[in-house]
Amino acid sequence: MRLDDILFSQGFGSRRECAGLLAARLVRVAGQIETDPSVDLTTEGLQFEVEGQAWAFQATSLVLLHKPAGYECSQKPTAWPSVMLLLPAALRRRGIQPVGRLDQDTTGLLLLTDDGKLIHRLTSPKHHVPKVYEVGCDRPVDAAQVEQMLRGVVLDDDPLPVLAEGCEVTGENSLRLTLIQGKYHQVKRMVAAVGNHCTSLHRSGFGALTLADGPASGHWRFVSDAERAALMAKAPR
């Protein structure tokens, strides 16, 4: 693929803007400044730099963001700034969007992609992709509350009970909850349904991905090919 087409496909602006980046000597390939827009490159495994930022060619982008509190998972936020502001303009231009949503006061692992099929694959309950949440509670957590969430609780918008895939006490007033659904405010509503109240919420895992190796709060990174493959592996039942 031509270099200017590569830059355009990766969200670095219009074709004229991409040509301008090359003319301004702001693009490096294999460590060397490249100014020729017509140079033909193999995209598989391609690494390059734009304005000093390292990039890898992505046919579709999948990004892991460590979401801080105070941001909405929306392209058109109403009361808080959008999480999109935490990402570079090149990713925003690609039409990247959150895989599911976290409330503005919820922190932790948020995936974003420009692949609609991937969004469906990762959010559909039938694919059993687990999401793990660290929950702080207003009142002490007891075994009865844990058992009730594992058996299932009824929420006010659905006559069928929703249940946790996993639930364990992690402290006097805290628990770890694993879900495969993605209902509106599901964690907070499940905790309320067993007679407690959620005071803090942090997503620590999404499928095979965790925040164990970063990034830090407010920062992002690309999901590697190996991580994507692990994420797409069907969870055992």
pLDDT in tens, 122-138: 988 788 899 999 999 99
- What does the pLDDT read at residue 125? 78
- What does the pLDDT read at residue 232? 84
- What does the pLDDT read at residue 169? 97
Determine how β-strand 97-98 pairs with β-strand 220-222.
Answer: unpaired
Helix H or strand E segment including 62? strand 62-67
Residue with tokens 């929703």: 162
HEC string for 140-160: CCCHHHHHHHHHCECCCCCCC
The answer to whether 6 and 43 are in contact (CB under 8 A) is yes
Which two three-digit tokens encode residue 45? Answer: 């495994």
Cis? peptide before 215, omega within 30° of 0: yes
CA 64 → CA 56, 148, 219, distances in Å? 15, 32, 9
| Cβ-Cβ contacts under 8 Å for 102 (sequence gap 6 or more) | 67, 73, 108, 110, 203
| Cβ-Cβ contacts under 8 Å for 83 (sequence gap 6 or more) | 65, 67, 71, 72, 73, 74, 98, 110, 112
Q: Which amino acid is at 35?
A: T
Of the candidates 5, 40, 103, 114, the residue annotated as catalytic is: 103
All domains in the chain, ordered by first residue: 3-56 (3.10.290.10), 62-125+208-232 (3.30.70.580), 130-206 (3.30.70.1560)
Residue with tokens 């074709």: 15
- What does the pLDDT read at residue 127? 82
Give the number of other Cβ atoms within 10 Å of residue 195's Cβ: 11
Write the DSSP symbol of residue 74.
Answer: S
142 is catalytic: no
Instruction: Measure CA 5 to chain center.
Output: 27
- What does the pLDDT read at residue 9? 95
CA 61 → CA 23, 114, 116, distances in Å? 26, 6, 11
Q: Is the dihedral of CA 186, 86, 211, 53 positive or negative?
A: positive
Round to whole Å and give the CA distance between 194 and 184.
Answer: 17
pLDDT in 10s for each residue of the chain, 237 residues: 999 999 999 999 999 999 999 999 999 999 999 999 999 999 999 999 999 999 999 999 999 999 999 999 988 888 999 999 999 999 999 999 999 999 999 999 999 999 999 998 898 878 889 999 999 999 999 999 999 999 999 988 778 899 999 999 999 999 999 999 888 899 999 999 999 999 999 999 999 999 998 899 999 999 998 999 998 886 555
Q: What is the pTM for the complete model shown?
A: 0.90
- What does the pLDDT read at residue 136? 98
- What does the pLDDT read at residue 123? 87
- What does the pLDDT read at residue 234? 60
- What does the pLDDT read at residue 214? 85
